[in-house]
Every structure is written in C-alpha cells, then in structure tokens.
Chains A and B, each alone.
Chain A
Amino acid sequence: MSTLKLDLESYKDLLKQYIETQNEQALYRAEQFSKHSIQQNITPDEIINVHIEALLELYPDIPSNIQSSLNFLLETMISYGLAYQEYQALREKQLELQSEISVAANMQQTLLSTTKPEMSELDVGAISTPAKQMNGDYYHFVKDQEGSLGIAVADVIGKGVPAALCMSMIKYSMDSFPDSRMEPSVILEGMNRVVERNVDPSMFVTMFYGLYDPDTHEFNYSSAGHEPGFYYSAKNDSFHDIEAEGLVLGVDRSVKYEQYTQHLDVGDMVVLLTDGVTECRTGDRFIERDEISDVIHQYKHLSAQEITEQVYRHFERLQDFQLRDDFTMIILRREV
C-alpha cells in the first residue's frame, strides 16, 4: 500500500474494483488512498479531477449532463483546495512558532533560575509553574552580606509571552540592586519606578519582598498590591493572612511602601503565593483561601518543598490539570 501513488491508473483500478464488487476491501483501500494523499499534500480538487478522468476512461459514454455536473463539482472544490493548502501552511507556521516559544521558555528558565538557599535556620520550599509555556510569575532568593535572606515574589498581569517579557525586565532590575542589605520598602520603591517608566499603562506588576534575619528571626516585608500570603503559628496551630498594604507597581511613581515585621518562632511558617493560586476556579466555583491553608495544614509534617508540591498537585487536579494562571508558592519554615 505504501507504494500507492495518486496516479490515474491506481485510482482507476480502485474505482473499478469498487464499482464492480462494492466490497469493503475497496473502501478500505480508498481510505488508505485518501490518507496517503493527505501526506502528499494533495488537495481535494485534485482528487476530484482524478476521479473525473478515471470515470471518463472507464465509461467513455457518460451522458454529457453528468459530465458537466462533475466539472461543476470540480470548480466548486478549487477554493476548498486553496483553503486546505493555506491550512497546511499555517500549521507549519504554528509548529515553527511553537518551537520558537519553547526555545524562549528555556531561555527564560535559565534567566529566572534562582538557587534555593540552604540555611540551617530555615526550611525553604518553592514551586513555580506557568499556565502556558512562558511564566509571568517570578520568585527570587538573595542572601545579602549580613546573612539575611531576601525573597522576592512577583506576578505580572496577564500570562504568556508579554508577561514573560515584562518579567525579564523585573529580573534584570532586581539584579542591579547592590549586595548590601536592602529594606523591602526601598526595593519596592525602586522597582515601582522601573515598572512605571518601562511598561504599557495597562500593564502592572504585583510584588512582595520579604527579608528574613536568621539572628533575630524577624521577617520584614512590604507588598506592592500582592496577593496576601499566610503566616502559620505553630504554637496556636493556626493560619492568618499576612496583611500588607501597598499599591501595585507601575501606577504611581511617587508611592511609598510601608514595611511590616513578623517574628517567627520555631515551627512557624510563612507562605507566599501569587494570585494564580487564589484565583483558580473549578467550573464556576472559586477556590477559597481557607482551602489553601487547609491543604498546607494537612501536609505540614512534610518538608517545605514537599508541601508546596502537594498544594500544587491538589490544585492541578481540581482544575482538571489545566492551569488557568501561572502558579507560584514559596514556604519558609523556621527550623531552629
């Protein structure tokens, strides 16, 4: 069958066989024939043309009205043939774009990669999964000269390539801050100016910046309109929201950010996330924030990394494995 060609002879033979026997085998071969034709980029109008020619050879005295009707059919199919060719060309282009995007996604991963810090005082877990190939979420760890750990989490409005491009800008700006200790409010104010100057008016970025001091066990933080995280108190075995007020980045150049402090006791956790976690919907139902803290609570005996993975799996399943938004979650737990 593989040697089958769209030549008049083989089509004529097939057609003849079918007309004479009307058996299923001929029809099966016709199916093979059409699949083969598709592989060879043969358009529907060409098949009709071959059909007409084969028919005229088999039955030379076909009435002229039937012949005319076949030509009419051929004319009608020409545009379909063109549409089919165009579809093929667009499909190839789409594959090309897809491979370009996956190259870009790999580049982005390299660009945004951050090393999870190893600290005896803190157990750190982090997960970030894009809804599409490119990620509009960003998180970054940085240890300053005094030994404090800075944690940045940001979420660009929208998803896909535009959000990812904006994210790269955030990353470069973050890298340009000095290594000495920077207060969260100062960092957000700097980032606000960068975003305000460089992005489209309808684009904005939410960002949370926290600084953990392993000597005092204080967690200082500021938020630029970012989805509130959770603080888990081991002593009370309860969660509450990490409330922090602050405008999203990129709206008002002169905005000041307030800074807050949360002391961590042994076993306490700080959970940071993006709105891809809280805005996730299952059908018409929204995920309530309580549900997230419940899942974390359920797995709190695991390591911070394992907890983030369990939460991710939970919500992935709830959304039928089709994330609607980028998903990022970071958990810090004081160990000693």
Chain B
Amino acid sequence: MNLNIDVDHEGNNKYVSLSGEIDAYTAPKLKETILPLTQDAEATVVVDLQQVTYMDSTGLGVFISALKSTKEYGGNLKLIQLQERVYRLFKITGLTEVIDIETDSTVRGGM
C-alpha cells in the first residue's frame, strides 16, 4: 500500500497528482505535502485523484485540514477526477457541499 505524490508549481497554481491509496499510513505524508502548499497566500491547489484507488476517513481529515487552511490564507482547494468510491466518501460526509469538487470528470465505476 503506497501513495505517490507529484507536485507541479505554476506561480500560485499548484497541481498535486496522487496515485495509490490514502489511509492511516499514507495520510501523514499527504498532509505534510499539501498543507504547506495551502499556506501560500491566495494559492490555488488542485488535487488530481484519478489514480487514487482507495481512501479512508483519515484521507478526508487531510482534505478538511487543507480546506480550513486555504480558507485561512485566502486560497482555493479543488479536487478533480475522483473515482466513484472515493467520491462517495465526500458525498456521504457532506463535504461535496463545502469542498470544490469537479464532478463532471468523476471517473464512474472506478473500482
């Protein structure tokens, strides 16, 4: 079980692409990478979850911290290309209402 994290910077736009699984073991690493990105004033952080095959509630916790942090620093957080099972977690927890999640590109029937 592993998580690969790639970060691309383009000025204030940060593009994070993830592949693998986000769980209690990989979430700390994700948090360490994402939180500093959200702490640049007015940064836009886009997280691509197309290759994320599994995420548990620890992963949600990371995105909630990231959301709170972008709000604090006046930035934006956007999640794109979620697989269906991952999207479901955001849906159930009501986070789709507070996090910008690009729904049209959701990969249906991912797992």
Are B111 and A157 in touch, CB under 8 angstroms? no
CB-CB under 8 A from B61, the residues of chain A are 157-158, 202-204
B61 to chain A, nearest CB (A): 4
CB-CB under 8 A from B4, the residues of chain A are none
Q: Determine if B14 is an interface residue (Cβ-Cβ < 8 Å).
A: no
CB within 8 Å for A157 and B60 given contacts A224-B94, A225-B93, A251-B95 = yes
Per DSSP, are chain A's interface residues mostly helix, strand or loop, or mixed?
Answer: loop
A200 to chain B, nearest CB (A): 8
Are A202 and B31 in touch, CB under 8 angstroms? yes
Contact of B94 among A158, A203, A225 (CB under 8 A): A225
Stretch of A7-15, A52-60, A77-85, A241-249 with 4 or more beta carbons under 8 angstroms from chain B: A241-249
Contact of A247 among B56, B69, B95 (CB under 8 A): B95
Q: Determine if A201 is an interface residue (Cβ-Cβ < 8 Å).
A: yes
Q: Mark A199-211, 1 if CB is under 8 A from B, else 0.
A: 0011110100000
Q: Determine if B78 is an interface residue (Cβ-Cβ < 8 Å).
A: no
Are B94 and A204 in touch, CB under 8 angstroms? no
Are B64 and A158 in touch, CB under 8 angstroms? no
CB-CB under 8 A from A157, the residues of chain B are 57-58, 60-61
Per DSSP, are chain B's interface residues mostly helix, strand or loop, or mixed?
Answer: helix
B77 to chain A, nearest CB (A): 13
CB-CB under 8 A from A224, the residues of chain B are 94
Complex: A275 Cα to B88 Cα, angstroms: 12
Complex: A251 Cα to B63 Cα, angstroms: 11
Contact of B95 among A201, A225, A227, A228 (CB under 8 A): A225
Are B24 and A248 in touch, CB under 8 angstroms? no
CB within 8 Å for A158 and B58 given contacts A204-B64, A286-B111 = yes
CB-CB under 8 A from A179, the residues of chain B are none
Give the contacts of B54-111 with A (CB-CB under 8 A). 56-58, 60-62, 64-65, 67-69, 85, 92-95, 97-98, 111
Give the contacts of A166-221 with B (CB-CB under 8 A). 201-204, 206
CB-CB under 8 A from A159, the residues of chain B are 24
A-B pairs with the 3 shortest C-beta distances? Answer: A225-B93, A247-B94, A202-B65
Chain A residues at the B interface, C-beta cutoff of 8 Å: 155, 157-159, 201-204, 206, 224-228, 245-248, 250-252, 275, 279, 286, 325
